[in-house]
């Protein structure tokens, strides 16, 4: 039992570190199915969004998108029928999150034998979710509060404590924890965040901290992380001052850009990672420029104005004389060589303008038309760029969201294990079926930690065409009822 | 065609001052290959990779913000010019027309340049996302997701201001351009004449590149962008006739 616990603990580490690669690279099918199921839920904002977005696309693109999704649904052979069903009926986002985590957990089993333990564990975990199709949201409310509590419980921490991890587990955990600062901070930017009653970034942060402090055997690595994160914490406070010149703290500084930008008092200033001490990068805005122009004109024009004078007049926090100086230089250049087509983008080009003055109106209107066309092309490009950028952002948001709920569920799902049924291939379906069929029960730490056997054959889990649902359900009901007795 | 090649082509096509400012996709790819092939993959390799990526990000940010600053200044200046031209009663009609024509040309090019900057931002982002995906795939790391979140916040990716300027520019352009109906043929001729030059060439190239990059790839996944379809593909493609480096 002990060794199995250890394995499971080790698997947790591995599991975290490999989550992304498994889910998003090696396990595309699984993820796709999760995604498709998720998206199939009409309540999903994401789906709504993608539909809305798809309206902006041409019909061709739209059908491409939709067909991509439907293709995934067809291809995936995970028996997520119950899961699918649940998604639709599930109103409560918390529970939905749990479900995703659970299914994703089961996905892990395909890549790592030991993770199978987690699978069975989480199946036990999820059993108390007890969602059946007939139940409405309101009925689930009591479970939600229970599960929320569990999430915040220290069960996971304790469990990890028991299992002194192997070195690779630590490493992968450290790797994974490398960027803990970002997630908490950035999650506030997530717009599609469903109701966060299970705690927000702070939970994640706490959990990370707990992990760090808990296990003595691996302190060295984690101390590193502690230092990293601690420094990252301090950096936001310093960003208004001169930028750091040290290149070694680049990573941290780039991290600090994240908290730095939103809602800082010296908003125009963006700290430049690795920039020289005296020239933190300044991000100009039209308003700032207006103030600049005003100050310059008050001082008698761009030629007569001095950087110092302008700086004084502008009275903007965080603005240094270097900023003003360089800006003034640009300003002067722009004024006295207005729109030089000879600068910058110069290629071979006989300026049509020379022709213009000597030619008749017909040509000039031709030119105008050509310009008009140019604008059209440019507009088109810009349009597409905006669409593309939005799509890219949404893709990442979605990935991040799933990652996050997955982590939260992990924290929740590792608390205890459940004996898996004898058939390894069914571990995934076990999971989902258990969700649907298990009787409600309070999650307690006292649940016996039994690690099941399914491991070696789990590679084919997601490709396994399901056996008949009812029979599986029956089996699981059996096992879960024996559990609960 | 692969992204790396596309990028290379694009860089060759792009404005001279911009060529060094793009992502070193090729080098990063080499590094990923190196890391993945070396038997022990540890934190130091990842740190090195991250270091390089951060350098690239810094490069983008610096360049982007410089350009953005320039655009802000030029935008204001153009508005001033227009105001001056409209208010100056002393100039003759001919002079007025001349200046307006100049302004029109300048503003259209300005618009194009701004759009090209947005394109620059996007291409580099795409490259970053790709290289991170490669990294994770090859080394089994989990670098991509958190790192890309960071990238999303970077100045070079937050192109809202430039987009806003673009839209303002478009409004101004609409005001400036007289509504003249011209025959199709003439228009095409004029357009083709202009297409070989300057900013227009760049924007056409950028549009085609974008389309090519988004063509269905072998690794198309739920993370991939859908294929780009432009209604005027043929027309736009015809603009490239003059281009010395045809984008196939």
The pair of three-digit structure tokens given for residue A112, joined into one six-digit string = 């790592």
Does the CB of A390 have a partner CB in chain B at under 8 Å? Answer: no
Listed in sequence order, the residues at least 6 apart from B155 whose beta carbon sits closer than 8 Å to its beta carbon are A261, A270, A281, A283, B61, B64, B65
Looking at residue A190, what is its pLDDT? 37
Name the minimum distance, in Å, from the CA of A197 to any CA of chain B.
Answer: 23
Question: For chain B, how many structural domains are there in total?
Answer: 1
Tens-place pLDDT, residues B87-130: 887 778 888 888 888 899 999 999 999 999 999 999 999 999 99
Q: Which of A283, A292, A332, A281 is nearest to A314 (CA)?
A: A292
Chain B residues within an 8 Å CB radius of A369: 180, 182, 186-187, 190-191
B224 part of a folded domain: no
Interface touch B142/A273, C-beta < 8 Å? no
pLDDT score of B67 more than 90: yes
Does the CB of B118 have a partner CB in chain A at under 8 Å? Answer: yes
Does the CB of B34 have a partner CB in chain A at under 8 Å? Answer: no
Tens-place pLDDT, residues A256-295: 333 333 333 334 444 444 444 455 778 999 999 999 999 9
Q: Which of A447, A148, A91, A456 is nearest to A438 (CA)?
A: A447
Q: What span, in angstroms and rounded, lies between the C-alpha atoms of A260 and A254? A: 10
Does the CB of A112 have a partner CB in chain B at under 8 Å? Answer: no
The pair of three-digit structure tokens given for residue A297, joined into one six-digit string = 């004109």
SS (H, E, C) chain A: CHHHHHHHHHHHHHHHHHHHHHHHHHCHHHHHHHHHHHHHCCCCHHHHHHHHHHHHCCHHHHHHHHHHHHHHHHHCCCCCHHHHHHHHHCCCHHHHHHHHHHHHHHHHCCCCCCHHHHHHHHHHHHHCCCCCCCCCHHHHHHHHHHHHHHHHCCHHHHHHHHCCCCHHHHHHHHHHHCCCCHHHHHHCCCCCCCCCCCCCHHHHHHHHHHHHHHCHHHHHHHHHHHHHHHHHHHHHHHCCCCCCCCCCCHHHHHHHHHHHCCCCCCCCECCCCCCCCCCCCECCCHHHHHHHHHHHHHCCCCCCCCHHHHHHHHCCCCCCHHHHHHHHHHHHHHHHCCCCCCCCCCCCCCCHHHHHHHCCHHHHHHHHHHHHHHHHHHHHHHHHHHHHHHHHHHHHHHHHHHHHHHHHHHHHHCCCCCCCCCCHHHHHHHHHHHHHHCCCCCCCCCCCCCCCCCCHHHHHHHHCCCCCHHHHHHHHHHHHHHHHC
Angle between helices B93-139 and B198-213 (to 10 degrees): 30
Looking at residue B208, what is its pLDDT? 81
Angle between helices B25-37 and B43-87 (to 10 degrees): 170
Tens-place pLDDT, residues B139-159: 888 888 889 988 998 999 999
Lowest mean pLDDT among A187-191, A280-284, B7-11, B66-70: A187-191
Output A348 or A158, whichever has higher pLDDT.
Answer: A158
- The top-scoring range by mean pLDDT among A70-79, A388-397, A423-432 is A388-397
Lowest mean pLDDT among B47-61, B118-132, B219-233: B219-233
Chain A residues within an 8 Å CB radius of B104: 368, 371
B22 DSSP assignment: S
B22 part of a folded domain: yes
Structural domain range at position B34: 3-174
B183 part of a folded domain: no
- The top-scoring range by mean pLDDT among A339-343, A430-434, B166-170, B212-216 is B166-170
B204 part of a folded domain: no
Output A163 or A193, whichever has higher pLDDT.
Answer: A163
Looking at residue B91, what is its pLDDT? 73
Only one residue has tokens 């090859």, namely B138
Q: Which of residues 153-172 of A touch B (CB under 8 A)?
A: 171
Q: Which of B92, B146, B173 to mutate to test the interface with A (most CBs of A within 10 A)?
A: B146
Looking at residue A228, what is its pLDDT? 43
Asked whether the beta carbons of A375 and B111 are under 8 A apart, the reply is yes
B191 part of a folded domain: no
Lowest mean pLDDT among A187-201, A300-314, A348-362, B71-85: A187-201
Task: Report, as an integer, the average pLDDT of A17-46.
Answer: 44
Looking at residue B235, what is its pLDDT? 66
Q: Which of B40, B105, B129 to mutate to test the interface with A (most CBs of A within 10 A)?
A: B105
Chain B residues within an 8 Å CB radius of A18: 140, 142
Looking at residue A137, what is its pLDDT? 41
Q: What is the ipTM of this complex?
A: 0.84
B41 part of a folded domain: yes
pLDDT score of B8 more than 50: yes
Looking at residue B1, what is its pLDDT? 61
Confidence class of residue A338 from pLDDT cuts 50, 70 and 90? low
Output B168 or A35, whichever has higher pLDDT.
Answer: B168
Does the CB of A337 have a partner CB in chain B at under 8 Å? Answer: no
Does the CB of A335 have a partner CB in chain B at under 8 Å? Answer: yes
Q: What span, in angstroms and rounded, lies between the C-alpha atoms of A393 and A148? A: 29
Looking at residue A459, what is its pLDDT? 40
B243: three-class secondary structure by DSSP: coil
Tens-place pLDDT, residues A341-400: 434 444 434 444 444 444 455 577 788 888 888 999 999 999 999 999 999 999 988 988
Chain B residues within an 8 Å CB radius of A65: 226
Does the CB of A141 have a partner CB in chain B at under 8 Å? Answer: no
Q: What span, in angstroms and rounded, lies between the C-alpha atoms of A324 and A2? A: 67
Q: Which of A273, A347, A348 has its CB closest to that of B58?
A: A273
The pair of three-digit structure tokens given for residue A35, joined into one six-digit string = 């995604």
Q: Which of residues 53-92 of B touch A (CB under 8 A)?
A: 54-55, 57-58, 61-62, 65, 68-70, 72-78, 81
Does the CB of A352 have a partner CB in chain B at under 8 Å? Answer: yes
**Region class of A316: left (phi > 0), else alpha (psi between -120 and 50), else beta:** beta
Interface touch A382/B144, C-beta < 8 Å? no
Interface touch B152/A396, C-beta < 8 Å? yes
Task: Report, as an integer, the average pLDDT of B43-61.
Answer: 89
Tens-place pLDDT, residues A80-89: 444 444 444 4
Name the minimum distance, in Å, from the CA of A396 to any CA of chain B.
Answer: 7
B231: three-class secondary structure by DSSP: coil
- The top-scoring range by mean pLDDT among A28-32, A206-210, B134-138 is B134-138
B89: three-class secondary structure by DSSP: coil
Does the CB of A339 have a partner CB in chain B at under 8 Å? Answer: yes
Looking at residue B109, what is its pLDDT? 92
Name the minimum distance, in Å, from the CA of B137 to any CA of chain A.
Answer: 6
B37 part of a folded domain: yes
Output A126 or B15, whichever has higher pLDDT.
Answer: B15
Looking at residue A350, what is its pLDDT? 41
Q: Which of residues 161-180 of B touch A (CB under 8 A)?
A: 161, 163, 165-166, 170, 173, 177-178, 180
Q: What span, in angstroms and rounded, lies between the C-alpha atoms of A350 and A227? A: 60
Looking at residue A104, what is its pLDDT? 44
How far is CA A232 from its chain centroid? 19
Tens-place pLDDT, residues A2-26: 555 555 444 434 433 443 343 334 4
Q: Which residues pair with A282 in a beta bridge?
A: A269
Tens-place pLDDT, residues A99-112: 444 444 444 434 44
Chain A residues within an 8 Å CB radius of B161: 285-286
Name the minimum distance, in Å, from the CA of A31 to any CA of chain B.
Answer: 9
Name the minimum distance, in Å, from the CA of B206 to any CA of chain A.
Answer: 8
B15 part of a folded domain: yes
Task: Report, as an integer, the average pLDDT of B216-244.
Answer: 63
The pair of three-digit structure tokens given for residue A32, joined into one six-digit string = 């796709």
Name the minimum distance, in Å, from the CA of A321 to any CA of chain B.
Answer: 16
């Amino acid at each position: 039992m002990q060794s199995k616990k250890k394995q499971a603990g080790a698997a947790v580490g591995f599991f975290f570190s490999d989550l992304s690669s498994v889910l998003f690279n090696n396990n595309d099918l699984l993820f796709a199915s999760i995604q498709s199921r998720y998206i199939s839920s009409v309540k999903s904002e994401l789906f709504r969004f993608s539909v809305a977005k798809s309206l902006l696309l041409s019909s061709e693109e739209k059908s491409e998108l939709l067909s991509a999704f439907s293709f995934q649904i067809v291809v995936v052979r995970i028996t997520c029928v119950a899961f699918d069903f649940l998604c639709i009926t599930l109103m409560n986002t918390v529970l939905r999150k749990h479900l995703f985590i659970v299914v994703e957990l089961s996905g892990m089993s395909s890549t790592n034998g030991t993770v199978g333990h987690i699978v069975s564990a989480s199946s036990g975990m999820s059993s108390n979710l007890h969602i059946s199709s007939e139940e409405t949201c309101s009925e689930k409310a009591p479970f939600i509060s229970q599960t929320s509590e569990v999430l915040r419980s220290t069960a996971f921490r304790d469990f990890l404590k028991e299992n002194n991890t192997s070195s690779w587990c630590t490493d992968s955990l450290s790797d994974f924890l490398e960027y803990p600062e970002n997630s908490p901070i950035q999650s506030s930017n997530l717009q599609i965040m469903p109701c966060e009653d299970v705690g927000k970034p702070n939970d994640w942060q706490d959990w990370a901290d707990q992990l760090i402090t808990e296990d003595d055997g691996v302190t060295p690595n984690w101390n590193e992380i502690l230092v990293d994160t601690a420094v990252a914490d301090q950096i936001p406070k310093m960003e208004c001052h001169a930028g750091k010149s040290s290149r070694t703290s680049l990573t941290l500084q780039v991290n600090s850009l994240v908290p730095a930008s939103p809602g800082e008092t010296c908003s125009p200033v963006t700290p430049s990672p690795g920039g020289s001490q005296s020239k933190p990068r300044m991000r100009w805005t039209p308003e700032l420029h207006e103030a600049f122009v005003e100050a310059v004109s008050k001082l008698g024009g761009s030629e007569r104005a001095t950087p110092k004078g302008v700086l004084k007049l502008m009275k903007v926090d965080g603005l240094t004389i270097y900023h003003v100086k360089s800006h003034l230089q640009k300003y002067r250049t722009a004024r006295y060589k207005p729109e030089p087509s000879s600068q910058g983008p110069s290629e071979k080009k006989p300026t049509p303008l020379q022709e213009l003055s000597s030619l008749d109106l017909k040509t000039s209107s031709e030119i105008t038309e050509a310009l008009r066309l140019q604008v059209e092309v440019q507009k088109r490009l810009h349009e597409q760029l905006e669409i593309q950028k939005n799509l890219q952002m949404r893709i990442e948001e979605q990935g991040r969201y799933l990652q996050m709920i997955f982590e939260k569920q992990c924290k929740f799902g590792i608390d205890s294990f459940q004996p898996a049924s004898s058939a390894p291939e069914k571990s995934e379906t076990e999971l989902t079926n258990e969700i649907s069929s298990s009787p409600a029960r309070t999650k307690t730490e006292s649940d016996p930690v039994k690690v099941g056997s399914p491991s070696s054959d789990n590679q084919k889990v997601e490709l396994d065409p399901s056996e008949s649902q009812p029979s599986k359900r029956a089996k699981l009901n059996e096992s879960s009822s024996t559990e609960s007795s | 065609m692969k992204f790396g090649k596309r990028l290379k082509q694009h860089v060759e096509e792009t404005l001279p001052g911009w060529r060094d400012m793009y992502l070193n996709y090729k080098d990063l790819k080499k590094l990923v290959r190196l890391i993945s092939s070396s038997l022990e993959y540890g934190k130091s390799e990842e740190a090195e990779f991250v270091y390089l990526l951060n350098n690239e990000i810094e490069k983008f940010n610096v360049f982007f913000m410089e350009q953005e600053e320039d655009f802000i200044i030029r935008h204001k200046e153009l508005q001033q010019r227009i105001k001056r031209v409209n208010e100056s009663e002393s100039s003759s009609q001919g002079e007025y027309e001349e200046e307006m024509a100049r302004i029109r040309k300048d503003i259209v090019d300005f618009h194009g340049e701004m759009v090209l900057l947005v394109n620059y931002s996007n291409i580099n982002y795409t490259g970053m996302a790709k290289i991170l995906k490669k990294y994770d795939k090859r080394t089994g790391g989990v670098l991509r997701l958190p790192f890309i979140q960071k990238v999303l916040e970077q100045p070079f990716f937050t192109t809202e201001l430039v987009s806003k300027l673009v839209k303002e520019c478009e409004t101004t352009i609409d005001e400036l351009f007289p509504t003249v109906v011209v025959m199709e043929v003439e228009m095409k001729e004029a357009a083709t004449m202009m297409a070989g030059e300057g900013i227009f060439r760049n924007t056409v190239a950028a549009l085609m590149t974008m389309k090519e990059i988004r063509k269905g790839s072998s690794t198309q996944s739920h993370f991939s962008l859908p294929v780009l379809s432009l209604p005027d593909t043929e027309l736009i493609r015809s603009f490239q006739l003059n281009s010395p480096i045809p984008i196939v």
